[in-house]
Amino acid sequence: TEKIPEKWVKTTCGYCSVGCGMKVGVRGDRAVAVRGDEDHPVNRGKLCPKGLSEHHTLQARSRALRPLLKQKNEFQPVSWDTALDTMVEKFLSVQAKYGKQALGVLSTGQLVTEEFYALGKLIQLGFGTSNYDGNTTLCMASAVAGYKRSFGSDGPPGAYDDLAESDLVILIGANIADNHPILCQRLAENRQGTVVVVDPRVTKTAMLADLHLPVKPRSDIALLNGIGHVLIAESMIDAAYIERHTTGFEQLRTHLAAYTPSHVAGISGLTEEQVLDIARRFGRARAPFVAWTMGVNHSTQGAETVNAICNLSLLTGKLGFAGAAPFSITGQCNAMGSREASCTSSLPGYRKFESAEDRAEIAKLWNVDPSVIPTKRGHAYPDLVEGMVKKEIRALWIIATNPLVSFPNYDVLTQALGNLEFLVVQDGFHPTPTTLHADLVLPAAIWGEKEGTYTNSERRVSKVNAAVPPPGEALSDFEIFLRTAGQLGVRDKLFPNWTGPRDAFEEWRQVSKGRLCDYSGLSYELLETAGPIQWPHPQGTESTGTRRLYADGRFEHSDEKAKLFCIEWQPAPEQPSRQYPFVLNTGRTVEHWHTRTKTGEVEMLHRMSPRAWLEMNPTDAERLGLEMHDKVTLVSRRGQVDGVELRVTSIIAPGHVFLPFHYFEYNSNRLTLSAYDPISREPNYKQCAVRVERS
Ligand code: SF4
């Protein structure tokens, strides 16, 4: 009976951005089961292995239970008052000594929107630093920057329904079978359309597709440009749409002239016929849907690749109606909330730091002088790390992320952290590789223990509820932010009469009013009774949300037109050489989430995928005299990883190897390089040069 729930609490999955609805079974103050919510429009009762076992994360042995302050190199438990007093005093003294911007903050896509909103105010107005970013820059920054450039604003235009309603689904750099499993279920509802996967590996998703295009790594821009070339050459574009709703067509036409099918075939490794075939399929499709994830974003040309994708939808006028959209599938459960409501790459409500009008508007809403609103964003994540290396950033607050496993080029990060005078890590788990570096660990509640909202990849806002209380002395991130504001003496000014996340949601609704991401018609009550709703949902709206953006062809640039971009293909920043002959690709597996702080603690998931592996083509294995299950060492110009089990498989092409990035013991980021998209600042995780030796 101890596993039989006494009640079920509705909430939303806290892992990926699919945003599945679920019910947590509770007995006493323990979560004993999880099941899918049959009424939820996204997953209709289904869950993937991570979601189904999510309740086990709440009782993990490695939960952080009390604040810990490092004294003489040992962590000592301290009270919350002492912890926050110490944190605020250290941060203020660093700022007094080196300037306000010497404090950096790194957050996450894992908090509820209410926490992102509160944290943004606390950092910008309370501590007065703009050096605040999230691990979303390691994940979705290229999609954000690409949307802003093409459409004038962030915000995925499509919906999950398009997976079933499109007659041509192209998944480019998106292995949804491993990374967004429930979306595969939605794709399976598409009975008539063709599914094409563009990916260098024969991923599980590629195996499910009607057509797999095994492009060479980082040749996607050439292929996209080649499709554009054929669309124009064979008059499969919508001239009236282009004229009415876009700018830059003549330049793009000239630019694409060079991307003939034979030129693209030479770059991509596809045949001319394959290039022509996919282009014609696109041109003839009633409603093409192009979705992407990290294969596109994790690149020094990620934002530009997004622009090249958007170009195709705009050239054909095929977006804004059922089945047709360019669509980024986000990574984390609430990366969208961070993008919309925090103060990282934009001001709340997708307002621009650079716009005097936007700054004046947010200042008015916050009842502060416009001069306190920064005129440009602070350091993005990689630049924060660079700032630490240069000793410009002297104190850092890390919230719900584990950069020692997730940030590229491990040695640079450890050097950066070593330069800090004070490091605070706020997390639901301890020890993690990152909390062990901290001077102060703040124990935080996690999914299942707190209330708020998440927004998924299709802009759908879902309620998140606490099923059980947090363990030990852990507090919700929201409560930690409010208490920190109290310690800083700004709580009444920034958060007047706030007692819980609902207060933040009410203010955020007003702040979002009139913006593309308009939440003003939403309320906790509506989300609880009507279920999750897609923004924009303005006040007074009777509808059940906005299925698709830009249906009227009006975009968010000041002239209301979308921009077509001329994007030039460039090779990856590090090429294989005699010494490092393989291209290393990194990615995920269905059983694990990011750096395994959560899923590594779930026995079922750990048993299914207990260690990393290296995929290598049989011809390469034979040439190196290696066999299945041999232990191998990978070496790059930056470091090495030892003892990885070899999987000899033809799902990977000769000359390429693949290593999952979840495992600290086999940390792929000891190998990856410090190369970033100059526009989005997203790292180039997907290609670096390595050699492979027997361990
Ligand atoms: Fe959770 Fe994503 Fe799995 Fe759905 S698909 S259960 S949101 S991890």
Q: Please tell me the distance between residue 52's alpha carbon and the centre of ligand 1 in angstroms.
A: 9
Ligand 1 atom at minimal distance to the Cα of residue 456: 7
* Residue 520 amino acid letter: S
Ligand 1: which of 17, 18, 179 to mutate, judged by most atoms within 8 Å of the beta carbon? 18
- What one-character-per-residue DSSP string does 156-181 give? ----THHHHH-SEEEEES--HHHHSH
Q: Please tell me the distance between residue 665's alpha carbon and the centre of ligand 1 in angstroms.
A: 25
Strand residues in 366-494 grouped as ranges (E): 395-399, 422-427, 440-443, 452-455, 460-464
Q: Please tell me the distance between residue 199's alpha carbon and the centre of ligand 1 in angstroms.
A: 22
User: Is pLDDT of 541 > 90?
Assistant: no
Ligand 1 atom at minimal distance to the Cα of residue 18: 7
Q: What is the pLDDT of residue 201?
A: 97
User: Is pLDDT of 488 > 80?
Assistant: yes
Q: Which two tokens stand for residue 334?
A: 């609430």
User: Is pLDDT of 1 > 90?
Assistant: no
Ligand 1 atom at minimal distance to the Cα of residue 51: 6
Q: Which two tokens stand for residue 551?
A: 């249906």
Average pLDDT over the chain, rounded to whole? 96
Q: Please tell me the distance between residue 38's alpha carbon and the centre of ligand 1 in angstroms.
A: 14
d(CA 313, CA 668) in angstroms, rounded, equals 35
Angle between helices 272-284 and 220-233 (to 10 degrees): 60
Chain length of the chain: 695
d(CA 354, CA 344) in angstroms, rounded, equals 13
Residues 6+ apart with CB under 8 A from 371: none
Phi and psi based region of residue 561 (left: phi greater than 0; alpha: psi -120 to 50; beta: remaining): beta
User: Is pLDDT of 692 > 80?
Assistant: yes
Say what percent of the chain tops pLDDT 70.
Answer: 100
Q: Please tell me the distance between residue 47's alpha carbon and the centre of ligand 1 in angstroms.
A: 6
Residues 6+ apart with CB under 8 A from 487: 84, 85, 87, 88
Hey, how many other C-beta atoms are within 10 angstroms of the C-beta on 415? 13
Q: Please tell me the distance between residue 417's alpha carbon and the centre of ligand 1 in angstroms.
A: 32
* Residue 292 amino acid letter: W
Residues in a beta bridge with 683: 676
Which spans in 257-326 are helix H? 261-268, 272-284, 294-297, 302-316
Q: Please tell me the distance between residue 162's alpha carbon and the centre of ligand 1 in angstroms.
A: 19
Which domains are present in the chain? 7-58 (3.30.200.210), 68-138+334-497 (3.40.50.740), 141-329 (3.40.228.10), 582-694 (2.40.40.20)
Ligand 1 atom at minimal distance to the Cα of residue 182: 5
Q: Which two tokens stand for residue 35?
A: 């099941």
Ligand 1: which of 43, 53, 110 to mutate, judged by most atoms within 8 Å of the beta carbon? 43
Mean pLDDT, range 184-192, rounded to an integer: 89
Please report, for the chain, how many H helices and E strands are present, in that order.
Answer: 27, 26
Q: What is the pLDDT of residue 192?
A: 87
Mean pLDDT, range 278-294, rounded to an integer: 98
Q: Please tell me the distance between residue 596's alpha carbon and the centre of ligand 1 in angstroms.
A: 15
Ligand 1: which of 48, 588, 592 to mutate, judged by most atoms within 8 Å of the beta carbon? 48
Residue with the smallest CA separation from ligand 1 atom 4 is: 20
* Per-residue pLDDT tens digits for 508-525: 999 999 999 999 999 999
Mean pLDDT, range 633-661, rounded to an integer: 98
Q: What is the pLDDT of residue 331?
A: 87
User: Is pLDDT of 362 > 90?
Assistant: yes
User: Is pLDDT of 542 > 80?
Assistant: no
Ligand 1 atom at minimal distance to the Cα of residue 593: 8
Q: What is the pLDDT of residue 670?
A: 97
Mean pLDDT, range 534-549, rounded to an integer: 89
Q: What is the pLDDT of residue 544?
A: 76
Helix or strand (DSSP H, E) at 613:
strand 613-616
- What one-character-per-residue DSSP string does 105-155 give? EEE-S-S-HHHHHHHHHIIIIII----EEEGGGGTTHHHHHHHHHHHSS--
Q: Please tell me the distance between residue 590's alpha carbon and the centre of ligand 1 in angstroms.
A: 10
* Per-residue pLDDT tens digits for 26-51: 999 999 999 999 999 999 999 999 99
Mean pLDDT, range 157-176, rounded to an integer: 97
Q: What is the pLDDT of residue 652?
A: 98
In 3D space, the residue among 287, 57, 18 whose CA is nearest the CA of residue 177 turns out to be 18
Residue ranges lining ligand 1, Cβ < 6 Å: 13, 15-16, 18-20, 43, 47-48, 50-51, 180-182
Q: Please tell me the distance between residue 43's alpha carbon and the centre of ligand 1 in angstroms.
A: 9
Q: Please tell me the distance between residue 50's alpha carbon and the centre of ligand 1 in angstroms.
A: 7
Q: Please tell me the distance between residue 164's alpha carbon and the centre of ligand 1 in angstroms.
A: 19
Q: Is residue 694 within 8 Å of residue 590, measured between CB atoms?
A: no
What is the pTM assigned to this prediction? 0.97
Ligand 1 atom at minimal distance to the Cα of residue 48: 3
Hey, how many other C-beta atoms are within 10 angstroms of the C-beta on 192? 8
Mean pLDDT, range 361-379, rounded to an integer: 96
d(CA 290, CA 294) in angstroms, rounded, equals 14
Q: Which two tokens stand for residue 44?
A: 């209709």
Q: What is the pLDDT of residue 545?
A: 82
Q: What is the pLDDT of residue 539?
A: 93
Residue with the smallest CA separation from ligand 1 atom 3 is: 48
Ligand 1 atom at minimal distance to the Cα of residue 43: 4
**Predicted complex ipTM exceeds 0.90:** yes
Q: What is the pLDDT of residue 112?
A: 97
In 3D space, the residue among 481, 580, 655, 467 whose CA is nearest the CA of residue 24 turns out to be 467
Hey, how many other C-beta atoms are within 10 angstroms of the C-beta on 24? 24
Q: Given pLDDT bands bounded at 50, 70 and 90, which one contains residue 2?
A: confident
* Per-residue pLDDT tens digits for 447-484: 999 999 999 999 999 999 999 999 999 999 999 999 99
In 3D space, the residue among 418, 542, 398 whose CA is nearest the CA of residue 107 turns out to be 398
Angle between helices 113-121 and 501-512 (to 10 degrees): 80
d(CA 333, CA 113) in angstroms, rounded, equals 11
Q: Given pLDDT bands bounded at 50, 70 and 90, which one contains residue 343?
A: confident
User: Is pLDDT of 252 > 90?
Assistant: yes
d(CA 455, CA 457) in angstroms, rounded, equals 7
Q: What is the pLDDT of residue 684?
A: 97
Ligand 1 atom at minimal distance to the Cα of residue 22: 6
Q: How far is CA 392 from CA 104, 168, 419, 564, in A?
A: 10, 49, 10, 38
Residue 216: DSSP 8-state: P
User: Is pLDDT of 543 > 80?
Assistant: no
Q: Please provide residue 269's backbone torsions phi and psi, each rounded to the nearest 5 degrees.
A: 85, -5
Sign of CA dihedral 681, 685, 691, 695: positive
Mean pLDDT, range 145-163, rounded to an integer: 97
Q: Please tell me the distance between residue 600's alpha carbon and the centre of ligand 1 in angstroms.
A: 16
Q: What is the pLDDT of residue 394?
A: 98
Mean pLDDT, range 592-618, rounded to an integer: 95
Ligand 1 atom at minimal distance to the Cα of residue 333: 7
Q: What is the pLDDT of residue 418?
A: 97
**For the chain, what percentages of helix, strand and coil (3-state, to nearest 5) are there?**
35, 20, 45
Residue with the smallest CA separation from ligand 1 atom 2 is: 16
Q: Please tell me the distance between residue 20's alpha carbon and the centre of ligand 1 in angstroms.
A: 6
d(CA 258, CA 249) in angstroms, rounded, equals 15
Mean pLDDT, range 254-278, rounded to an integer: 98
Ligand 1 atom at minimal distance to the Cα of residue 180: 5
Q: How far is CA 192 from CA 312, 316, 659, in A?
A: 22, 21, 35
d(CA 255, CA 252) in angstroms, rounded, equals 5
Q: What is the pLDDT of residue 453?
A: 98
Ligand 1 atom at minimal distance to the Cα of residue 52: 6
Q: Given pLDDT bands bounded at 50, 70 and 90, which one contains residue 79?
A: very high
* Per-residue pLDDT tens digits for 87-113: 999 999 999 999 999 999 999 999 999
Ligand 1 atom at minimal distance to the Cα of residue 46: 6
d(CA 679, CA 268) in angstroms, rounded, equals 24
Q: Given pLDDT bands bounded at 50, 70 and 90, which one contains residue 500?
A: very high
Q: Please tell me the distance between residue 322's alpha carbon and the centre of ligand 1 in angstroms.
A: 24
